[in-house]
Structures are given as C-alpha cells and as structure tokens.
Structure 1
C-alpha cells in the first residue's frame, strides 16, 4: 500500500512534528508499505530515506513565523498527487491542506487528517474572541473533508467530540526508548551548564508564544528568589528568542539554540534534574516524553494534554511561575532514584511500534484486534468506497498492488519545480 503523507510547517526547528513524521514513515516501511512524505522547502528534492521517499517542493517562507513554509501551489501539488497514485493520504495540516480531503474523495482514495494541535487552544493563545465557536465551525468542515480524524490524546480529541464528530480516532504517539534512556546522562554536558551544587532545569521546545517559554524563565527567577540555586538551559529557537534574552538577562539562563543531533538532545535531557513543559496547548509533547524516557521528571502545565501523558513521571500544576517553582522543589524532595525510575517507567508505556500499529489500523491497513491493549482504540470509520454526488468512486489502485516509479521521474520533477 502506498501511503502519501503531506505536512506543512515543517522546519529544522520543528522537533516534535519532524520526529513523528520520521518514526511513522519508518514504521510504515517496516510493515511492508510504501511511505511517501511531501513537505515544503527551499528547493525541489526527491530522496529515498529510512522513512521512505521524501519529496520537497519549493515554497517561500511565511513572514514572521520563524521560517515556516507551506505547500501553497495547489495545481502543482495536484499534479504530484495524481502522479503518485496513493492508496491512502495522511495530512498533517488542517488549514491550508484541507482541500486534499476532497481531492482524495473524488479519486476514491481514503484520507486521514492528523490533528497535532488544539485549534481552540491556539485561538485562545492568539486572543481570538468566540474561539470555541470558530473552532467548532472549522473542525466540523475538516471532519467532513476527511474519512478519518486522528488525535494523539483525549485533550486534542475533545474539541472534535463536543461537536459529535463520528470519524474520530485516538492514537498516542511514541518515544525512542533506546536512544532516550537514563544511560544518556553525560557529566560533561551537565558541568557545561551547572555547578555540582546547582539545580539544572531544561526547557526543550520552540521559542514561540504558544509554548510559553517565558514561564520557564520566570520559574528560575521564583526558585532563586526562594534561595534555590537553579539554572536554566533553553534548547530551541524561535521568534521569542530576543525577548527571552532580555527577560532572563540577570538570571542564569543559557540559550543552547536548536540542537539538531538527537543523541545530544538525549544527553541534555538525561543530565537535567527537571524538565519544564509550560505550554498550555500541548497536545502530546514528544520532548516531555523523551525527557521521562531519559529518567528525568517533568513539570507540565495542567491546562495542556500533558497530565494524561506524564502520569507519575512528573507533576502537573497551574501555569504560574510560583506553581512551577513549587513543583520543582517537591520533585527534588523525592529520592533521586525513585523519581528517575518513575519517569522512565511512565515513558515505557509509549512505544513507536504500538503507535505505528494504531495509525495503520486507522488507515484500515491492518484489522482491528478483538482483544488486547489496542482493542476498541480505532472506532469504525466511513466505508472504504468514496462517493461523488452519490455515485460510488472505486479506488484506482488495489491495496496490494505495487507500482514502480517511472524512470527519470526525479529528473522530470526537478525540471518542473526548478
């Protein structure tokens, strides 16, 4: 089966989304399917990678977004999709790519939209009035456009449930439990940022308003006001970098920037005492899960989806500096081995193989189990046959058919987008 995945807002700084796309693609390939990922970028490219074929279409960056790009050329994307002849499409953007659900329906291709954020939550962060009404209207149209809507937590699914979306599925994401493990702790990394008598806190996420990175800075200030010798490392980059530097000018806040090497990320997370996740609209929080996999407890915003993910691996509190500082202190009162073991045990509940299996069931690529942990996870979706104006529209390619790429396809594509 050929699964074509479309994603926007993917940059070198979008760690969580890039990780999810990569791990799902690898899982699809390992399960015997053909994974194709289409993303925007600076220039055209077509590469075969461990996550399958990755096609990059040229796109200009959106102003004031920190380098985000979108697949804006609808005519070119339609030509590409028609040429790829997918059996399934999986879309990770419910705004500019919602039209691809209609494209798939007209061609008899099953479609899935993956909701990586809470629209109502984002509208709230942006200060939009009547955010729930706006989100409901938009989400209803999205659910009508796609055969299946996938959310990774109950928090993310809630805004679809309240409008009675019938084609809703919950599938948790996963974590690389081998790469992110307590053994990744590195004394040299720790000593680079903190003295032996200092408490090392880490914020690992994009420096954008929706993530509330200023709360991490304010937490350090609250701790130090309480005579706790805490220091903070901010691993990530984004539009808030300059403002945060001013905010933490008199505090021990170190900006590590975006860390591209995943082993280096694991070393930093494993070497921290506590990881802070202050974002109020996080719908899963892969960096938080990676921290727990490294044996590092976390403090998260109780308004987000993270309380249902962290369990005993951390503490969920209101989004204030005082509450976060108090939670850090409470975690540090627990015996070190106990708090680190609890964090690792919680992370071990989330593996990528189980997540891949859940996504493939949502794609109807494998049958739903009658028993076991995944039983009942995937709700029945709409019938496989799509209809246009009441007329059944059969799929053009059988699910078991493998169609080879035409010779010279890469060269032709490059010429088209040069």
Structure 2
C-alpha cells in the first residue's frame, strides 16, 4: 500500500506534540506500508519530500503561505494510494489529493481550530482560513482519527455534519525504549540546577493553549525549597513572548532557583530532566491528549496536569499523578497539587513507578501503527 503522510513538522524540525506523533508513527509505518512523508522544509531524502512556502508569498499571511505548501504537496502525491494528513497545516493537501487523484484521505485531528481562538493572535484574519481548511477536510475525509475519546466528542461537537461512524479513536503513543529513566545528570549540571533541591518541570511551547501564564503565577507560592525549570520556547506571537518574559522576571524576583531554557533541547537532555524532576507539570487549558505527559510517565515521573480534554485518559488521578480542574481557582489548584508531591516524595515515587508501568503497557507506537494500517485497509475496501 503506497501511503503519503502529510505534516508540517518532521525531524529535525519538530516543536510540538503533532510532530512527535508523526515522527514515531512514520518510523513504525515504514515496516508495514510503502511510506512517503511530505513535510515543510528544503530538499528531498529517501522517503521524505520537503516543501517550502512559495517565495512569491514571502511576508504574506501565514495561512496563505501554508496553502502554497499544501498545493505543492498535492501536486507531488500522484501515485499514492492513500493520504494521511496531520493538523490544519496539511489537511488541505490531503483533501486536494483526494479530489484530484480519487484516493482516500485519512486525517488525524491533534487539535481543532474552533477550540483555539487564541490562534487569531498568531494568524490574524488568516485564522478564518485555517478554520475553513480544517472544516473542509474534516467533513470530506474518509476517516478522521481522534487521539482521545474526549477529542472524538470535540470533533463531533464542532462538526455535527460529520458522520460519527467515520471518527475513530487511536490514542497517541510513546516509545518506552527511548523514553525511560536516565540516571545521568549532565543536562541538570549544564542548566545549573542545585542537586540538593527538588524541581518541578514544564516542557512546551509558549502559547495560551499550554497555560504558561497560569503556571508562572501558580508556582510563585509553592514550597520555596523547590526549583522551577521552564523548557519553554517557540512563542506563538511577540505579544505572548513579551507576557511570558514579564511573568518570568516577576517570578525570578520573588523566588530563587527559577531556570528558563528557551531553546529546544536535544531529546536525551529532556529525558534526563524528566527523570530527575520531582513533578512534571502540564497546565494546558486545551489538550486533546498531551504526548508530553506520556513522556514524563515513561521516565518514571509523576504528573500534575489539567483535567481537560484527553489528559484524564493518560494520567490517572491519584495513581500516576494529580489532575487539577480548570476553574476560577485553577492556579491555586496547581500550586496545591505540586506542593502535595513535593511534600510527599514517597507518594511521588509510587506515582512515577505506576506511570512508567502504564506507559509501557498501554501506549506503544507499534500498536498505534497497526491500528492505523487496519483503518487504511478498511477505508480502501469501502472506496
């Protein structure tokens, strides 16, 4: 089966959960199908074709530049038997290939544009175009993959014209051979962490979706012995970056041991940081699943996370971590949950061990790939 996998992010240019998903899914799919990846970037290597926005659109709205990549991808997909797109950045390419070549289109929904109104800050009026592209692709797709059961409900709520029978749940996965506890401390030493003090860790983009401002306010009042490590980069807009910097500077004035790492760290360093954290914190206000929570669990670290979207399908409250409702006292709830783990290292250790066990037993990428190929085969027989 000749499959075209369409994505914005692909190694070495991965900055979010959707990119991580595609990276590992592609790795497993190569053993099962004839796979060609189409992504953003320059050049072509074995099994990967990269496309860049048209130079004539330099300086234009990002939505228009995205559409130019989608057109280039669609033109390059002739001869594929099925296309599988990820995020709105590639959904239109999948839809166009379906119409142009008469082949099935599968799309994985990692998030939904109607539920991310803050994207208007990044795209301006182009947000209407990103929503249009997603809407068009969703309603015409032969199959829509939701990364959690909660995400499936969101998809059907946002797009009621979509036949529920075409929406399938396939959870995100984790490579527990790669993400596993690492006793090394080189990354901690390089950042300048005090080995005698515990630390809480955040890893993610600077975006309103990830709840970063709420986190920076929440950790002001946690146990003063704890350090705070913020691996936070790729801001959506200059405005959100400016807000983050102001909150970070305020936090640094009221407590010691606050460390901001703005650059993307190599994966081995992230694994070391996850391994040694007293708690990993995911304060997202919108999260269809949250691969980063799986990464923390696989490294044996307890998770404090928002009770939103698909997060409760990953993090078992009171077993592998603590879930916090996103309500009027969300920031206080985050602080209490973090303090509960900082104050009880034995309970945190038990949760970390349970998280590792759950990650290994439930969320393997080989299972994700097999379920995905089974869906490809099902829709091909129906086409």
**Same topology, TM > 0.5:** yes
Residue 278 of structure 1: how far off its partner (Å): 0.8
Q: Deviations over 1:113-138 (max 9, x none)?
A: 110113342137869xxxxxx99998
Please name the residue that 1:338 is paired with.
350
Q: 206-215 vs 194-203, which deviates more?
A: 194-203
Pair 1:318-2:328 in alignment:
no
Please name the residue that 2:108 is paired with.
114
Q: CA separation in 1, counterparts of 2:294 and 2:59?
A: 30
Secondary structure of 2:341's aligned partner = helix
Is 1:9–1:70's contact at 8 Å kept on the other side of the alignment? no
Secondary structure of 1:236's aligned partner = strand
By relative contact order (CA 8 Å, sep 6+), the higher-ranking structure is 1
Please name the residue that 2:34 is paired with.
34
Secondary structure of 1:30's aligned partner = coil
Cα gap change, 1:265 to 1:334, in 2 (>3 Å): closer
Is 1:259–1:265's contact at 8 Å kept on the other side of the alignment? no
Secondary structure of 1:275's aligned partner = strand
Q: Deviations over 1:164-196 (max 9, x none)?
A: 5331110011111012112x1334444544324
Q: State the superposition RMSD in angstroms.
A: 3.1
Residue 354 of structure 1: how far off its partner (Å): 0.6
- Number of residue-to-residue matches in the alignment: 350
Q: CA separation in 1, counterparts of 2:202 and 2:107?
A: 29
Please name the residue that 1:142 is paired with.
137
Is 2:15–2:234's contact at 8 Å kept on the other side of the alignment? no
Q: Deviations over 1:247-291 (max 9, x none)?
A: 121243212123342111111111111111111111121111101
Pair 1:222-2:256 in alignment:
no
Secondary structure of 2:6's aligned partner = strand
Is 1:102–1:145's contact at 8 Å kept on the other side of the alignment? no
Is 1:4–1:86's contact at 8 Å kept on the other side of the alignment? yes
Is 2:302–2:349's contact at 8 Å kept on the other side of the alignment? no
Q: CA separation in 1, counterparts of 2:345 and 2:64?
A: 41
Is 2:73–2:93's contact at 8 Å kept on the other side of the alignment? no
Is 1:147–1:382's contact at 8 Å kept on the other side of the alignment? no
More helix per residue: 2
Please name the residue that 1:400 is paired with.
none
Secondary structure of 1:315's aligned partner = strand
Where structure 1 has 5 or more consecutive residues not aligned to the other structure, the ranges are: 128-133, 365-379, 386-418
Is 2:297–2:320's contact at 8 Å kept on the other side of the alignment? yes
Pair 1:173-2:183 in alignment:
no
Pair 1:56-2:47 in alignment:
no
Q: CA separation in 2, counterparts of 1:54 and 1:382?
A: 23
Q: CA separation in 1, counterparts of 2:29 and 2:169?
A: 18
**Highest CA radius of gyration, 1 or 2?**
1
Q: CA separation in 2, counterparts of 1:259 and 1:135?
A: 26
Q: Deviations over 1:12-47 (max 9, x none)?
A: 35242222111111111122x121111122x3x111
Q: 107-116 vs 187-196, which deviates more?
A: 187-196
